[in-house]
Amino acid sequence: MAILLNNMGFENQPWADVFADELPDMPVHVWPEVPDPAQIKYAVVWKHPHGDLRRYPNLQAILLLGAGTDHIDAEPDLPKVPVVRLLDPDVGNDMAQYALYWAMHFHRRYEDYRQQAQRAEWQAHEVTRSKEFRVTVLGLGIIGQEVAQRIAGGGFCAQGWNRSPRQIEGVKTWHGAGELSEALQHSDVVVNCLPLNDSTRHLLNRQRLSALPKGAFLINISRGAVIDDDGLIELLNDGHVSGAALDCFAQEPLPQESPYWRMPNVYVTPHMSGSTYVKSASRPVVENIRRLEKGDVPQPIHLPPQHAAST
């Protein structure tokens, strides 16, 4: 039995090398070179071509090479085998750092200082004390919780909103559709960590984002399509939203013609907030394959809507 490896759009070789070292009894076939599809027991994939997973009659588990599940959740032809997300601890750390960096950037007015320095202008600005500067994380899954805790540890007033209730020490939380608007009303910065699914697509539209106090900021580190771009762009242009740091977009790479590239109050980064490092990320993947081989449950298991609907 063998591993199918398809890290679509990213490098496969470093992963193949790790598996060869750590799981020497299990051959690795890098997509699309699969001599015998019946040999494939585990599919280790990221953004695989939809439909491809049906080709492997003896598939026993799908192991994703990232935390996001929107691509697998949209697979119209998903085999009924366990789906395992990848939670590289370094990714949560990196995403939390990204959110904290931009929260500090907006809070302390570093862009103003950068422009002042170009004019050799020495002028300090008084700002809200950081423990009164409210940074609200939308989506308190494993990554969102880590982001919220880091925001609190970074000296800010950390808050959060989640679909279902969540309790996090030191973090004020709201939950449910009914409280989203209240959460936004009390936010100086919003950090979007929501997964993309039918209930979150374009959730942050013009109307909902208008609940933010004038002058608030937005940071997006999960999925671009949670935001309605037209609505956000209007609010950025009329100054209701003062600035945005955007790391993910409905279409990636962000098209050349996107207005985001040219807006002075928008910081575009190329989906770099949470990079997967083979060195650390391969450990949980290898560990999960070993668990599966022993008959243990891998983690974290993801329940895709296709499976939920049919159970």
Q: Which residues are catalytic?
A: 223, 271
Residue 134 sits in the site that holds a copy of itself (CB under 8 A): no
Contact range with a copy of itself by CB under 8 A, out of 203-211, 216-224, 232-240, 276-284: 276-284
Residue type at 301 in one-letter notation: I
Residue 100 sits in the site that holds a copy of itself (CB under 8 A): yes
Structure tokens at 311: 């159970």
Contact with a copy of itself (CB under 8 A) among 47, 108, 172, 175: 108
Beta bridge partners of 266: 244
How far is Cα 93 from Cα 145, in angstroms, rounded to an integer? 11
Cα Rg of the chain (Å, integer): 21
* Shortest Å distance, C-beta 57 to a copy of itself: 37
Structure tokens at 1: 């039995």
How far is Cα 309 from Cα 136, in angstroms, rounded to an integer? 32
Residue 261 sits in the site that holds a copy of itself (CB under 8 A): yes
User: DSSP letter at 274?
Assistant: T
| 176 half-sphere exposure, CB direction, 13 A CA radius | 3
How far is Cα 25 from Cα 68, in angstroms, rounded to an integer? 29
Residue 153 sits in the site that holds a copy of itself (CB under 8 A): yes
CA distances from 114 to 124, 215, 274 (A): 12, 19, 26
Residue 122 sits in the site that holds a copy of itself (CB under 8 A): yes
For residue 43, give the nearest of 74, 86, 76, 9 by alpha carbon.
86
* Shortest Å distance, C-beta 274 to a copy of itself: 11
Contact with a copy of itself (CB under 8 A) among 12, 60, 116, 197: 116
Residue 253 sits in the site that holds a copy of itself (CB under 8 A): yes
Using the minimum distance from each CB to a copy of itself, give the nearer residue, 49 or 270.
270
* Shortest Å distance, C-beta 122 to a copy of itself: 4
Q: Tell me, by CB under 8 A, how many residues bind a copy of itself.
A: 45
- Contacts (CB under 8 A) with a copy of itself, residues 60-99: 90, 93-94, 96-98
* Shortest Å distance, C-beta 186 to a copy of itself: 21
Count, in order, helices (H) and strands (E) of the chain: 10, 13
How far is Cα 94 from Cα 276, in angstroms, rounded to an integer? 10
* Shortest Å distance, C-beta 146 to a copy of itself: 10
Beta bridge partners of 294: none
Contact with a copy of itself (CB under 8 A) among 113, 175, 304, 306: 113
Task: List residues binding a copy of itself (CB under 8 A).
Answer: 90, 93-94, 96-98, 100-101, 104-105, 108, 110, 113-114, 116-117, 120, 122-126, 129-131, 150, 153-155, 252-254, 256, 261-262, 267-272, 275, 277, 279-280
